């Protein structure tokens, strides 16, 4: 196994590296985290490399022909449906899609969410947090937003009686 680890470290061809990684993960039952440590890579990068094994030969040929780069490969490998993957690949080639455009197209396919609109402005987040803090000074508010979802996290610290009372009060206000 150590020989294969060394071979992966020295390998310059991304697909040869991906095949060796898949061999270790499948045949030798090594866990991704363990393999990542041995390779001095992040576990997410090892997963990205492993997913490259799912790409069709046409896409692999496109990479070797320098029609697309490694970043496009990583994005394409996120699409599990081969027909959809090929449609994205054709779109990349015919429309000369950038990495960002490809990422948005794949996000639409995987999550069925179009990336349009804009993020909340920092002052809008601050305004909401301040408004809640005035009414509920013991309530901690955290707002996060990505291209596919927004999350508002409310945290109340205290005893069970106190947190239950405040939670019910907030629920009543929202229902009103």
Here the tokens at position 61 are 């040929």
For position 10, what pLDDT does the model report? 95
- 127 and 154 belong to one structural domain: yes
pLDDT of the residue at 135: 87
pLDDT averaged per 10 residues in sequence order, the chain, 176 residues: 92 96 94 95 96 96 96 96 94 95 90 78 92 88 85 91 91 89
Q: Are 3 and 48 in a shared domain?
A: yes
CA-based diameter of the chain, in Å?
67
148 plus 164 within the same structural domain: yes
Coil, helix or strand for 140? strand
**pTM summary value:** 0.69
User: What domain range includes position 21?
Assistant: 1-54
Question: How many domains does the chain divide into?
Answer: 3
Q: How far apart are CA 35 and CA 46, in angstroms?
A: 8
Which residue's entry shows tokens 């599990």?
80
Quick one: 1 and 42 in the same domain?
A: yes
* Pair (107, 141) in one structural domain: no
- CA 99 → CA 2, 8, 73, 120, distances in Å? 35, 26, 10, 24
Which of 116, 135, 156 corresponds to the end of one domain?
Answer: 116
């Amino acid at each position: 196994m150590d020989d294969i680890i060394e071979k992966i470290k020295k390998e310059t061809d991304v697909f040869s590296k991906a095949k060796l990684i898949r061999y270790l993960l499948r045949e030798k039952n090594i866990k991704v985290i363990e393999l990542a440590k041995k390779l001095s890579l992040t576990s997410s990068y090892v997963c990205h490399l492993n997913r490259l094994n799912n790409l069709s030969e046409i896409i692999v040929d496109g990479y070797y022909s320098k029609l697309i780069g490694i970043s496009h490969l990583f994005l394409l490998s996120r699409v599990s449906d081969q027909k959809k993957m090929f449609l994205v690949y054709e779109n990349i080639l015919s429309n000369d899609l950038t990495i960002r455009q490809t990422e948005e197209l794949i996000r639409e396919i995987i999550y069925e969410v179009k990336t349009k609109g804009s993020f909340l402005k920092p002052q809008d987040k601050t305004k909401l947090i301040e408004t809640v803090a005035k009414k509920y000074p013991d309530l901690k508010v955290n707002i996060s937003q990505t291209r596919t979802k927004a999350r508002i996290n409310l945290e109340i610290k205290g005893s069970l009686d106190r947190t239950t009372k405040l939670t019910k009060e907030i629920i009543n206000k929202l229902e009103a």
